[in-house]
Amino acid sequence: MMIPGSNLLAMALGVIGSQTVQWFQYDHVDTGPTGLDIVTYKAPVPVAQGSVQAVDRSRYTQYGLDWQKSYVTWFVPNVTALSITRNPDTDGDVIEWAGRRYQVVGDTPWSVQDHWTRLLCIDIGPATGAMTNA
């Protein structure tokens, strides 16, 4: 029987292994000359611990997700000391994995019990070009 504090993510990563993602932490937003927001991110940080999993479409209704979009969940141990930024008025952090970029749109911290966080991320397109405005 599993109990809180058993760190299920650490156990899973021991079996399935980790996947490396590039993490772009939100820095700030400026208004460009055309009046549009220009989002700036800090330099990417490779995060070698964690697991990226597709969100099963059977859960889209349960989570209230947009059926026209694709989502992944990034499970990451808290030992990586990430400070995830999600500002409701601007864009939040971005991860890059498997040739795609994903905006972090939600998180569920399991840090108190099991020392990991689950991040819901939405696909924002291919991982091409500079990371100034996702």
CATH value at residue 48: 2.40.10.270
Does residue 76 lie in a domain region? yes
CA gap 76, 71 in Å, rounded: 16
Overall domain count for the chain? 1
Instruction: Identify the band that residue 134 occupies on the pLDDT scale cut at 50, 70 and 90.
Output: very low
Intra-chain end-to-end CA distance of the chain, in Å = 43
CA gap 2, 66 in Å, rounded: 33
Residue 86: the pLDDT is 58
Q: Which residue has the tokens 């939405």?
A: 122
Does residue 134 lie in a domain region? no
Does residue 62 lie in a domain region? yes
CA gap 94, 25 in Å, rounded: 7
Q: Answer yes or no: is pLDDT of 109 > 80.
A: no
Does residue 1 lie in a domain region? no
Task: Choose from 5-19, 43-57, 84-98, 102-116 the range with maximum mean pLDDT.
Answer: 43-57
Of 91 and 87, the structure prediction assigns the larger pLDDT to 91
- Average of per-residue pLDDT across 15-37: 84
Lowest mean pLDDT among 47-56, 61-70, 80-89, 124-133: 80-89
Q: Which domain holds residue 49?
A: 8-126
Q: Answer yes or no: is pLDDT of 99 > 50.
A: yes
